[in-house]
Structure 1
Amino acid sequence: MLDNKKYKLLNKFIIMKTTILIAAIFFTGFTFAQEKKTDSVKTKSIDEVTITKQVFKKQSDRFVYDVAASPVSKGNTTFDLLKQMPLLSTTDDKTLKIAGKNNALIYINGRKTNMDAESLVQFLKNTPAENIQKIEVITVPGSEYQVESSDGIINIILKKRMSDGTSGTMRMSNSQNKYNASQASFSVNYRKDKLGISSSLSGGENINPQAYILKNGTGNIRNESVGNIDDPNKNIGGYLNVDYQLNDKSNLALSWNSWANKSYNSTIDLLNTITQYSNGNLISTNYTRTKNKEDARNYNNSVNLNYELKLDSLGSKLNVNAAYLNYKRFQYSDNKTMLPGTANDFSLISKKIIQNIPQLINNFSGTVDYIQKFKHDFTFSAGGNFNKTKTDNDTRNTTFSYSYNDDDTLLNTQTKEDPNHFIYDENIYGLYVTFEKKFSDKFSGKAGARYEITSSLGTSDNAKQPEYQKIKRNYQNLLPYLSFNYAINDKNNLSYSFSSRMRRPSFWELNPVKNIITENNYTQNNPFVKAASTYNQELTYMYKNSYFLILNHSLFKDVITQVPLQRTYMENNIEKVQLAYIRTNFGTKQEMSAMAGIQKTFFKGYLTTNFNAGFQHNINNGTLNIDPTTGQVFDTYTNKTKSTSLMIQTNNTIRLDKNKSWFLGVNYFFVDRQQIELGLLKNLMSLDISIKKTWNDWTFALNLEDVLRTNIIVIEDTQANGNYNYIRNDQYNRGGTFSITYNFGNKKVKKVRDIEGASDAIKSRTR
């Protein structure tokens, strides 16, 4: 998918990314044969029981992975450990996905991490897995969580048996795919009596390469653009958390997070071919070349103040947060359309578009959470949140058009200014209440609701369309939640969850800016995009805390996505075809999935594997033929297609020696072709292999990603009227990373409380 920075034509449209090991088919053949052996092992000693029993289980509204009882935590980072978890996967070593979910939010000790995406990845990659007690995967979050759409939650529970002192981690890594990349980080934790300090600093540089083939056509006109995108990046950032225990019942904490990115000299170089046919015969061929140079930088700073008061010995508490978020992005691009000229060297500039696209975001937020625990396993929770956000987008577009005579002499130049100053103000008020009750050792339930009021106003100082001048929205939403868990017996467990959520547009999606890709290919953001609604249902069956079956259904209304619209037009007596990717609400969508899996350890801990296999059925229903930002009429684009896809996921860790110092990892994922908003996404798969060596406080790791070079995105769509659109995007996922990690100091240092910031829900919409 094309975004506002890197023009990624597809990334956000892959609804599910899964991971599978190619050898997992072989490993799972031992499942039932080894189960009998494992049962006999359990009777030999108490120590072995703690390793194999209930490492993975279902509790109430979440899956729980007991890291302390797992053999794979030794020598791993938190990020490496999460990749071993059932239902979790990563395809880029940066983002984590929960099977069947759009996104995975990271919580620590029940609170959302107050970090941007880049800082969070570094935090997870530099936190030793030995500090973790357990990991919870909440596939359908309750009303108390501020999540959007079908997002899931990964909650990391840290160990509490820790003492005063200092500890830290240093990590260096070097990666190679098309280009070389390097990364370094340093983190330290300090605790003395009532004071705890945690900080981290990391930075690096890399070039994100992409190769594109873009084809589209309508009637007798066809376009093809072939070329490369290189996006250099330099990053630096970190966080500082200070936690002070006021007394036995109350804590005060201050956290600050900062991240900066510089992407200068990002280039797009595409050769464009326009062909015209008549009755199947080629009439004409015209060539142009697109050269785009972009300089961009962004800064993300946030500060959060937290107060927590413990109310009783049962766990009742009051939690209050106040936060401020400041986000700045500056983007300057120079897009040229080059003509071949008499020498066919593409030295003549036909059109040049200069774009200056800054974005400033300021947010003030506050949250209050009250949790009251009663005897007899009953919990009542209530709370609220407030978010006030202002975005300022002062876009400047200048277009230069050039004309030449037959000997390539410049005849004249035309200049057109197109400024657009768009300001967006948004206020969100939210209240929630939940009731949770354990009725017996077998049955527990949870019910709640969230009520949200959203008020927004978008204004433009110099809008050409009257409807741009003031866009006002006010809407209210009641979002119910229900779940129950029934332990049929010691071996069988059944649970059900229902949740309703909203998906608000990101702030960059609302900024009515046009990003030029080629002369006839662009993306258009949309200030009229409204919030989408999502309804999730999930039924889970688990057997012996190792085998599970998950049935899921999600209904999306007013889906926020990009829609490819085409039209033909005449320019200089030449018929051309234009392709616009319009950001808008696009009908409804249903996703239904059934997934069966296993998480188990075999051969006395030498092999730890999780394996999932299932099907996903997508039903799309959307139609569009007008750009809502301009009223321009295009050919009708319709997506009312159904598709059923096979999905397989597994991760495996093989211990190679008795000392638990050498480990081999082999991962492989496969997802069959499936219908998405842009068209038919062809099948994807990737084989990843890793080798790791732990030596005292040192860890050496070599990771090889996409060994078979099969993780390449291809989308194809053909409409009933003959219009077609084809995208091939190679992001050079095949590569290798070598890393060295050193852990120093007192490994039992008590971690500083990780505080959920009041602005976290807003921060996710800046990206």
Structure 2
Amino acid sequence: MDFIYPLQFNMGKFLRILVTLFIFSATTSIAQETGKDQVSVIGKVIDKTTGNPVESATITVLIKQEQEGVGTENFSRISISDRDGKFSVAVIRATSAEIFITAVGFETLKKTLRISADATEVNAGDFLLGTEATNLAGVVVTARKPLMQMGVDRRIFNADAAITSKGGNAADLMKNIPSLSVDINGNVQLRNSTPQIFVDGRPTILTLEQIPAEDIEKVEVITNPSARYDAGSTGGIINIILKKNRKAGLNGVVSVGGGTPELFNSNLSLNYRKGSVNLFASGGYNRSGGIAEGEAKRQNKSDGIITDYFDQESERERQRKFKSLRFGMDYKFNDNNTISISQGFVDGRFNNIEDQNQRYLDQNKVLTQTGTRQSLEENFFKRSNTQLNFRRTYEKAEKEWTADITYNSGNNGGESSILNQFYTPDGQLSGTQNRVENYSTGNSQQFTIQTDYVNPLSEKSKLELGARSFHNYSKDKLDVFSVANDELTKLPLSNNYSFRQVINAIYTNYSNQLGKLKYQGGLRLEQSSFTGKLLDSAKSFGYDYPSKGNDMWNAVFPSLFLTYELKEGNDLQVNFSRRIRRPNFWQINPYVDISDPMNIRKGNPELEPEFTNSFELNYNRTYSTGNILVSTYFRNNTRDITNYSDTISNAELDKLNNASIDPNAILTTFINADRTNRTGLEIVWQQRVGNSFDFTPSFNAQYRDVKASVGGLNLSNTGFNWDFELMANYKINDPDKKLLNNFSFQVSGEYESPRVTPQGRNKEQYVVDFAVRKDFLKNKAGTLTFNINDVLNSRRFGNITDTENFYQDSYRRWSVRTFRLTFSYRFGNNDIEIFKRKQGGNDDNSG
């Protein structure tokens, strides 16, 4: 069955007007820049105290030109330094330029650069940034970090630029990042595929909603990772970088906010730096609530003929409470050796109260019975994260060795009660009341050890080597009981399991340059195993690659990147990588989830890993006021892991005796498709108009071709889908307007078209967020932010499933429109000495 869906845009007059406005403004701005001769300014930013490169420093190059009939006109270009502290800025040709370097925790540095008439590239040299030596109250930051720094291998999103997520969590932040979407369960997707989530470059057991947005400095998005990264990242990598202040002395930020429904957030971050020691700590509390609705309408069929109908409506009241604490220390032994240690804790409580109303109708749509289902769920979790990092640099520039150890642990538990009752069409009780109770406990541990070595062999060539070992252990117990006449009967739904996952890897990367062609080739070898056990039945399941030395190709993951500089500010790149997606525990655990009695889920122990061959062709264009990145991509997923739904069988129904499961319930599990091919085009455009307005639209179009079958049933499907995202910012910076000065406005919107699945399609969805921010007090130390998430109250996740046995149209919501007001205050004084001590009446402040 084929579903081809035409382009449809339903975001309404509001967003259409905004899109038209910014496209017109930007087109005019770009047209003014086209055709101007450019010169490239390169350089490197270095920490004057440590000698280490400064990543994510903001570089602003200002050009002044005499324009006939206009006078002097200013042109500026903003860029950000990379992880090696290097930067390259393409600017309009002139005889001189002023360069401003700003970075958090450092003094602002200014340099005037002379440019010869025939130069195509000018090396501005090294910029040595000294530690900020004035109180925070005396610091005025005039340059804003751009929303994103875009390159052909990754994109860096600056978290502070997304004011619509202020007071929220990492999932709220992800909604603002081009190419990313967040589903009903808080899971993020990159180009309609599931990426791997890292925190500070390491695996995490935290979910996105367990990470406060206030703790995030930036987010790195890598669409096609090289051999340096874990081969399990078939859908790309999202690396969340947490904040770590570098200001001298004692500095901090405190924020508190609240709103509706049931919103409250608070956070405190502190940092102390003196000499070779840097101490940091942060803690916060976040609470959210609200009532979300859901709906399902189904037609049950036999031989293609409708036999009866079923409708279901639900309301779920969700309450989430999270507490977090993180602290650590950086210590610099000498000019070449630094060690860092950090510890984090997260504690969460979440409650759900859900009411379902059900209606059963015959083939003539005559009501035959109704039903109600009430469920109460209370759960908790505790998470701990410990990291130890060592970094050694050498006299040779950019040569370094790092070794890291990460340990994650946690426990969880909870209980729930489900009550079912059926009624006759006239409202009389039908049958006896069914009650099911669940009790769960569990614990998990993750251990990662990793080492990386980088050695520049020459000015243009570089060798990278590394190794990684990841171990994941978990043990959980779920007891499910049917309650009748105050007696408990244990059901087969009970799930007592444990699993162990191990991934060992080594890799090498080599890069060099031939004229304008830069190339990087890499090879990664990974051995992986997964062993799961159902402790009550002694049943085992899992996988092992390569298995006893066989299937060695399943352990080999090559990558190749070729970049060619067409001209200054214009790069063309082609890349390839092979990766693996391993099924997670819930996808292969044969446990049956009956949270919804008409839509139950079960894992498949026979599920195998899928493999991805990914190709990309990227064109990156930079100019004085913006950047455009155009990507075409093709992904071939063999053994693609996908959902499969069917009416529950009599055998499965018998196993769920006394669990109040309807004979017409849909059972969803996971299968390996033969393959899924995705062909797509993505455009990300970052544009600044004047000094007050900027916007970032992104567009992704994809054609999906799925080939799959189950028991002779053909599930193959094809279809076209697309999505559009926009973030626009406007800031008033006019001292003459006392009341309106330092006001910032931000609007972001997203539209996703219908998307095919093997048995139907996901329905379209759209959302708009809005925020306004006011900086005030002396030197903008205070900030007040008001945001509305889901302005139109439209975010819902729907899907249509069409099979031989049933047709279902359903939607669910996980959150509702929220209103939030947050106040933040930045403070600091580098004169405070925590370790002050008296000796002979004098202060010893040596560091």
How far is the alpha carbon of 1:210 from its aligned partner?
2.5
* 2:721 corresponds to which of 601, 626, 645: 645
SS of corresponding position for 2:664: strand
C-alpha deviation, 1:156, in angstroms? 6.1
Deviation at 1:697, TM superposition (A): 0.7
Deviation for aligned residue 1:372: 1.5
User: In the TM superposition, what is the alpha-carbon distance from 1:544 to its structure 2 partner?
Assistant: 3.6
2:525 to 443, 447, 451: 451
Q: In the alignment, is residue 165 of structure 1 matched against residue 261 of structure 2?
A: no
Q: 618, 635, 645: which is aligned to 2:704?
A: 618
Are 2:153 and 1:61 equivalent residues in the alignment? yes
* Counterpart-to-counterpart distance in 1, 2:206 and 2:367: 50
Corresponding residue for residue 594 of structure 2: 516
From 240, 255, 260, give the equivalent of 2:327: 240
Distance in 2, matches of 1:59 and 1:188, equals 32
Q: 1:702 to 1:247 in 2, by over 3 A?
A: same
What is the correspondence of 1:735-746 to structure 2 with a 5 Å cutoff?
A: 735-745=818-828
Find the partner of 1:49 among 76, 80, 100.
76
Does structure 1 retain, via aligned residues, the 8 Å contact 2:761–2:799?
yes
Q: Trace 1:172-187 onto structure 2 (pairs within 5 A).
A: 172-176=256-260, 179-187=261-269
Counterpart-to-counterpart distance in 1, 2:292 and 2:152: 43
Matched, 1:460 2:542: no
Matched, 1:698 2:782: yes
Higher relative contact order (CA 8 A, sep 6+): 1
Partners of 2:207 and 2:221 lie apart in 1 by: 19
Could you tell me how far 1:236 is from its partner in structure 2?
Answer: 0.7
Is the CA contact (8 Å cut-off) linking 1:148 and 1:504 kept in structure 2?
no
CA deviations 1:557-614 (Å, max 9, x no partner) are: 3333432221475999x99412112244444322221123421111x22210112234
Aligned to 1:730: 813
Partner of 2:456: helix, strand, or coil? Answer: strand
Q: How many Å separate the matches in 2 of 1:71 and 1:426? A: 38
Instruction: Map 1:601-680; keep pairs closer than 5 Å.
Output: 601-602=688-689, 604-624=690-710, 639-659=715-735, 661-676=742-757, 679-680=760-761
Relative to the length of structure 2, the TM-score reads 0.73
Per the alignment, residue 256 of structure 1 pairs with 343
Q: Give the distance between the partners of 1:118 and 1:269, measured in 2 at CA.
A: 27
State the Cα deviation string for residues 398-439 of structure 1 (Å, max 9, x = none). 234x6xxxxxxx8x9893543443221222211111112233
Q: 3-state DSSP class of the match of 1:145?
A: coil
Q: 8 Å contact 2:292–2:815 — kept in the other structure? A: yes
Is 1:555 aligned to residue 636 of structure 2? yes
AA in 1 matched with 2:234: S
CA distance in 2, matches of 1:337, 1:356: 18
Checking the alignment, whether the CA contact within 8 Å between 1:21 and 1:652 is kept in structure 2 is: no
Residue among 725, 745, 770 paired with 1:689 = 770
Counterpart position of 2:25: 30
Aligned match of 1:125: 214
Secondary structure of 1:530's aligned partner: coil
For 2:371, the equivalent position in structure 1 comes to: 288
**Paired position in structure 2 for 1:765:** none
Amino acid at match of 2:76: V
Deviation sequence 1:506-551 (CA, Å, 0-9, x none): 3344443222134443222344433222222211112344233211
1:91 to partner: Cα distance: 8.5
Task: Map 1:28-427; keep pairs closer than 5 Å.
Answer: 28-37=23-32, 43-44=64-65, 48-51=75-78, 59=151, 61-63=153-155, 87=179, 98-99=190-191, 102-103=194-195, 105=197, 111-112=201-202, 116-118=206-208, 121-122=211-212, 124-126=213-215, 137-146=221-230, 148-153=233-238, 163-176=247-260, 179-207=261-289, 209-216=291-298, 217-219=300-302, 220-264=307-351, 266-277=352-363, 281-282=364-365, 285-340=368-423, 344=427, 349-400=432-483, 415-418=489-492, 419-427=494-502
- Residues 313 and 296 of structure 1: is their aligned pair in 2 closer, same or farther, counting only changes over 3 Å? same
Any idea what SS the aligned residue of 1:247 has?
A: coil
For the structure 1 residues 205 and 452, does the alpha-carbon distance in structure 2 shift closer, same or farther, using more than 3 Å as the test?
Answer: same
Q: CA deviation at 1:139?
A: 2.1
What is the deviation of 1:188? 1.1
Distance 2:646 2:162 in 1: 49
Can you list the C-alpha shifts for 1:628-686, whole angstroms capped at 9, x where unaligned? xxxxxxxx875422111232222110123425611111222212111135631222112
Contact residue 698 and residue 743 of structure 1 kept, 8 A: yes
Distance 1:457 1:117, change over 3 A: closer
> Given that residues 611 and 649 in structure 1 are in contact (C-alpha distance below 8 angstroms), is that contact kept between their aligned partners in structure 2?
yes
Distance 2:469 2:759 in 1: 35
Where does structure 2 lack aligned partners over 5 or more consecutive residues? Answer: 1-10, 37-61, 66-71, 80-88, 91-145, 547-553, 736-740, 833-847
Task: Give CA deviations for 1:255-295 in whole Å, capped at 9, x if unaligned.
Answer: 2121111124x222111223333xxx357612221122222
Q: Which residue is equivalent to 2:544?
A: 473
Q: What is the CA distance between 1:745 and its match in structure 2?
A: 1.0
SS in 2 for 1:357: strand
Letter of the structure 1 residue corresponding to residue 206 of structure 2:
D
State how far apart, in whole Å, the 1-side matches of 2:475 and 2:243 are: 40
The percentage of counterpart residues that share the same residue type is 15
For 1:379 and 1:210, the matched residues in 2 are separated by 53
Distance 1:155 1:271 in 2: 41
- Range moving further from structure 2, 137-146 or 736-745: 137-146
* Equivalent of residue 571 in structure 2, options 493, 496, 499: 493
CA RMSD between the two structures: 3.9
Are 1:594 and 2:670 an aligned pair? no
Paired position in structure 1 for 2:44: none
Query: How far apart in 2 are the matches of 1:91 and 1:169?
Result: 31
CA contact (8 A) 1:274 1:576 kept: no
State the match for 1:4 in structure 2: none
For 1:258 and 1:561, locate their aligned partners in 2 and report how far apart those are by CA, in whole Å. Answer: 34
For 1:258 and 1:32, locate their aligned partners in 2 and report how far apart those are by CA, in whole Å. Answer: 48
Give yes or no for contact 1:377–1:438 (8 Å, CA) kept in 2.
yes
Amino acid of the structure 1 residue aligned with 2:374: K
After TM superposition, give the deviation of residue 118 of structure 1 in Å. Answer: 5.0
Q: State the Cα distance separating 1:157 from its structure 2 match.
A: 11
The DSSP-based 3-state class of the residue aligned with 1:30 is helix
Partner of 1:754: none
Structure 1 residue 364 displacement after superposition? 2.7
TM-score (norm 1): 0.80
- Hey, what's the Cα distance between the residues in 2 that align with 1:288 and 1:81? 39
Provide the rounded CA distance (Å) in 2 between the counterparts of 1:309 and 1:563. Answer: 50
Amino acid at match of 2:510: F
Preserved CA contact (<8 Å) 2:388 2:405: yes
Amino acid aligned to 1:563? Y
Greater Cα offset, 215-224 or 734-743: 215-224
- What are the Cα deviations for residues 284-322 of structure 1, in whole angstroms up to 9, with x where unaligned? 612221122222111111212222222333222221122
Shift of 1:354: 2.1
Instruction: For residue 119 of structure 1, report the CA deviation from its aligned partner.
Output: 8.0
Residue 272 of structure 1 aligns to which amino acid in structure 2?
Answer: Q
Give the direction of change, closer, same or farther, for the CA distance of 1:575–1:614 in structure 2 (3 Å limit). closer
Structure 1: how far apart are the matches of 2:569 and 2:719?
A: 35
Q: Which has the larger displacement, 200-209 or 504-513?
A: 504-513
What is the 5 A alignment of 1:575-590?
576-590=663-677
Q: Which moved more, 1:281-290 or 1:38-47?
A: 38-47
Which letter does structure 1 place at the counterpart of 2:267? S
**Structure-2 separation of matches of 1:492 and 1:91:** 35
- How far has the Cα of 1:85 moved from its partner? 6.3
CA distance in 2, matches of 1:159, 1:343: 64
